[in-house]
Structure 1
Amino acid sequence: MSEDPDNSGAHGPAVFGQLRRANLGKLRRRTGGRMALDRPVTEQREAFSELLELTQIGMPDHQVAQLELGGVACLRLTPVELRSARELVYVHGGGYSLGSPQAHRPLAARVAHRVGAPAIMPAYRLAPEHPCPAALEDVLAVWRALPRATQAQAILAGDSAGGGLALALSMALRDAGEQLPAGVVLLSPWTDLSMSGASIDTLAENEVMLQRPGLELMAGRYAGGLSRRDPRVSPLFGRFEDLPPMLIQVGGHEVLLDDGRRAADKALAAGVAVELQVYAEQVHVFQATPMVEAAATAIRAIATWVDALG
Structure 2
Amino acid sequence: MRPQNGLRAGLASALTSAFVRPIANAIPANRAGVAFSRAFIASSLWLASPPLKGSRIEPGIRGEWVRAPGTSEGNAVVLYIHGSGYALCSARTHRGLTTRVSAGTGLPVFACEYRLAPRHRFPSAADDVRAAYDRLLDQGYRRILVAGDSAGGHLAVDLAAQLLRERREPPAALALFSPLFDVTFGLAAQRERMSPDPMISAAAAARLVGLYTVDADLASARLRFAFDDIKGFPPTIIQAGGLEMLAADAIELARALRRAGADCELDVVPGQMHVFQALTRFIPEAAPAMERACRFLTGNLPAIVRAA
**CA contact under 8 A between 1:152 and 1:179: conserved in structure 2?**
no
Structure 2 unaligned residues grouped into runs of 5+: 302-308
* Counterpart mapping for 1:125-144 below 5 A: 125-144=115-134
Report how far residue 42 of structure 1 moved: 1.6
**CA contact under 8 A between 1:240 and 1:272: conserved in structure 2?**
no
Report how far residue 133 of structure 1 moved: 0.2
SS in 1 for 2:98: helix
TM-score (norm 2): 0.86
CA distance in 2, matches of 1:272, 1:183: 11
Identity of aligned residues (%): 27
Report how far residue 11 of structure 1 moved: 7.6
Most deviating of 276-285 and 155-164: 276-285
The yes-or-no answer on 1:201 pairing with 2:192 is: yes
2:180 to 184, 190, 204: 190
The match for 1:271 is: 261
The yes-or-no answer on 1:218 pairing with 2:211 is: no
The yes-or-no answer on 1:77 pairing with 2:70 is: no
Count of residue pairs brought into register by the alignment? 294
The match for 2:248 is: 258
The match for 1:246 is: 236
Report how far residue 233 of structure 1 moved: 2.6
Output the aligned Cα RMSD. 2.8
**CA contact under 8 A between 1:60 and 1:113: conserved in structure 2?**
no
Q: Could you say if the C-alpha distance between residues 28 and 210 of structure 1 is closer, same or farther in structure 2, counting changes exceeding 3 Å?
A: closer
The match for 1:283 is: 273
The match for 1:23 is: 16
1:305 aligned partner, one-letter code: F
SS in 2 for 1:235: coil
SS in 1 for 2:86: coil
2:42 to 44, 49, 72: 49
Most deviating of 150-159 and 120-129: 150-159
CA distance in 2, matches of 1:236, 1:8: 40
Q: Could you say if the C-alpha distance between residues 116 and 42 of structure 1 is closer, same or farther in structure 2, counting changes exceeding 3 Å?
A: same
Q: Could you say if the C-alpha distance between residues 7 and 226 of structure 1 is closer, same or farther in structure 2, counting changes exceeding 3 Å?
A: farther
TM-score (norm 1): 0.85
CA distance in 2, matches of 1:239, 1:167: 14
1:81 aligned partner, one-letter code: G
The match for 1:61 is: 54
Q: Could you say if the C-alpha distance between residues 223 and 238 of structure 1 is closer, same or farther in structure 2, counting changes exceeding 3 Å?
A: farther
The match for 1:3 is: none
Q: Could you say if the C-alpha distance between residues 118 and 21 of structure 1 is closer, same or farther in structure 2, counting changes exceeding 3 Å?
A: same
Report how far residue 112 of structure 1 moved: 1.1
SS in 2 for 1:247: strand
* Counterpart mapping for 1:120-159 below 5 A: 120-147=110-137, 151-159=141-149
Q: Could you say if the C-alpha distance between residues 177 and 148 of structure 1 is closer, same or farther in structure 2, counting changes exceeding 3 Å?
A: farther
**CA contact under 8 A between 1:124 and 1:135: conserved in structure 2?**
yes
**CA contact under 8 A between 1:152 and 1:180: conserved in structure 2?**
no
SS in 1 for 2:131: helix
The match for 2:99 is: 109
SS in 2 for 1:277: strand
**CA contact under 8 A between 1:241 and 1:271: conserved in structure 2?**
yes
Q: Could you say if the C-alpha distance between residues 142 and 50 of structure 1 is closer, same or farther in structure 2, counting changes exceeding 3 Å?
A: same
CA distance in 2, matches of 1:146, 1:281: 37
